[in-house]
Amino acid sequence: MTESPFPEEEKLYGVLDPNIRRVCLGDYEFDTWYGNAVYFAPDESTLGYEYSNRHLTKRASRKPATTSFWLDTLYLCDQCFKYSDKKIEIDAHRAACAYRARAPGKVLYRGAGYEVRRVRGCKHPLFCQNLSLFGKLFLDNKSVFFSVETFEFYVVYGYDGESMLPMGFFSKELLAWEDNNLACIVVFPPFQRRRLGTLLIEFSYALSCSEGRVSGPELPLSQFGRVAYVAHWCKVLARAFMRGAFKDAVKVKMAQVSTVTGLRYDDALMALRHMGAIEGREVLRGNIEKWVEENRINLEGSVLEEGGLVVY
């Protein structure tokens, strides 16, 4: 992640309590989960984009009556994530937002009702910065992106009524030392419980496999990220051992598991331990089957639709 322009506030980014009470994203209004000091100038009351405006007339602090919040409501465009503390400004912008007619980036996956677009930070820096700022309100263990040129953002779009809206994303660092396929992932609150997190995780691995890479997410994982990824890894392994490449194998080495499933060695090992299916270097097939039965795991299919990944 990149360096903060406010070094003295760096300690706030991962632990700050919500400093914006609510956000209004297009027609949706909902509470924030975590704080984000980067939206603000150092006076903790003026939004950063206003503070840097030469024509800004300094106003009294806009902190609401409750002192736990720096701002009561933040208004955002539901296409480009441009933001303001004035609803009238965002309403006027939404009506003319260029991304409403044409979303940024290139479609890499298209399924029934959803698509994933790759948006490169070097080509759409303002969109990616605003997307990152917004995502931080719902992530507890990631820093905010400033130099987005070295990142790609994979944004899931879905239909909400007749409109196609961005509903979540994951980012990927292009110059990472580790061979990660994902830096951070978030699905926005109004669009959760649609299995979009699973879709993005499966897509990230499908993309890695299309590139011939064994890969995985950047560590450490957040609490919610760990739950989602362990569930995904366990299902992938259960499928491989009960219905896939290892169904009839007598002995399977962990190196083979990693190569065939596309999961990193340590990630696969963590999942097998979670299922109680590893003893020394031996995979206990019976314990995998028992775990699947006890947890009523459905091994059928994938959230990604067959043929949905666009070759590029």
Asked if the structure places residue 310 within a domain, the reply is no
Query: Regarding beta strands 163-173 and 106-110, do their DSSP bridges make them parallel or antiparallel, or are they unpaired?
Result: unpaired
Provide the Cα torsion 32, 37, 43, 49; round to 10°. -90
Count other Cβ atoms within 10 Å, centred on residue 305. Answer: 14
CATH number at residue 64: 3.40.630.30
Task: Look up residue 141 and give its two tokens.
Answer: 């263990």
Q: Do 259 and 111 share a domain, yes or no?
A: no
Range list of β-strands (E), 161-274: 163-173, 180-182, 184-187, 216-217
Domain count, the chain: 2
Q: Do 88 and 188 share a domain, yes or no?
A: yes
Q: How many residues belong to the chain?
A: 312
* Domain boundary residue, one of 165, 182, 210: 210
C-alpha dihedral sign at 141, 2, 219, 135? positive
Asked if the structure places residue 266 within a domain, the reply is yes
Asked if the structure places residue 162 within a domain, the reply is yes
Asked if the structure places residue 303 within a domain, the reply is no
Q: Do 202 and 264 share a domain, yes or no?
A: no
Q: Do 25 and 85 share a domain, yes or no?
A: yes
In tens, the pLDDT along 188-241 reads: 999 999 999 999 999 999 999 998 899 999 988 888 889 999 999 999 999 999
The pLDDT value recorded for residue 16 is 65
pLDDT band at 10 (very low <50, low <70, confident <90, very high): very low
The pLDDT value recorded for residue 192 is 94
Task: Look up residue 238 and give its two tokens.
Answer: 């259960």
CATH number at residue 234: 1.10.10.10
Q: Do 245 and 206 share a domain, yes or no?
A: no
- pTM of the predicted model as reported, rounded to 2 decimal places: 0.88
Query: Which of 200, 201, 220 has its CA nearest to residue 263?
Result: 201
Question: When comparing pLDDT for 224 and 121, which is higher?
Answer: 121
Range list of β-strands (E), 174-248: 180-182, 184-187, 216-217
Asked if the structure places residue 304 within a domain, the reply is no
Residues 149 and 121 sit within 8 Å (Cβ to Cβ): yes
Q: Do 271 and 150 share a domain, yes or no?
A: no
Indicate which residues carry an active-site annotation: 218
pLDDT over threshold 70, residue 144 = no
Alpha-carbon distance of 206 to 70, in angstroms, equals: 41
Tell me which residue has tokens 């399977």.
Answer: 252
pLDDT over threshold 70, residue 6 = no
Alpha-carbon distance of 44 to 70, in angstroms, equals: 6
Residues of 137-146 as b/e, b for ≥16 C-beta within 10 angstroms?
bbbbebbbbb
Question: When comparing pLDDT for 120 and 179, which is higher?
Answer: 120
Count other Cβ atoms within 10 Å, centred on residue 91. Answer: 14
Asked if the structure places residue 137 within a domain, the reply is yes
Q: Do 159 and 45 share a domain, yes or no?
A: yes
Q: Do 169 and 21 share a domain, yes or no?
A: yes
Range of the domain at 232: 224-294
Per the prediction, the chain carries an average pLDDT of 87
pLDDT band at 4 (very low <50, low <70, confident <90, very high): very low
Q: Do 200 and 236 share a domain, yes or no?
A: no
The pLDDT value recorded for residue 65 is 41
Asked if the structure places residue 251 within a domain, the reply is yes
Which stretch of DSSP H or E encloses residue 154? strand 151-160
